[in-house]
Amino acid sequence: MKTKAQAQQIFTWIVAIVLMSLLVLFGYRSITNLRVRGEQVKFLEFKNDLTSTIESTTDYGSERRVSLSAPGAYNEVCFVDFEGGIDLSLMNNYPIIRDSVASQLGKPAIENVFLVKDIAEQSFKIENMRVEAPKFLCVEVKAGKINFRVAGLGKYAEVRSVD
Pairing mode, if any, of strands 76-80 and 145-152?
unpaired
* pLDDT above 90 (res 5): no
CB atoms within 10 A of CB 82: 19
| pTM of the shown model | 0.81
pLDDT given at position 1: 55
Number of H helices, E strands in the chain: 2, 8
Encode pLDDT of 32-41 as tens digits.
Answer: 888 888 888 9
Of 128, 133, 137, nearest to 109 (Cα)?
Answer: 128
Mean pLDDT (the chain, rounded): 91
* pLDDT above 80 (res 153): yes
Between 65-69, 100-104, 137-141, the lowest mean confidence (pLDDT) is in 100-104
Residues 71/42, Cβ–Cβ less than 8 Å: yes
Q: Is 113 helix (H, G, I), strand (E, B) or coil?
A: strand
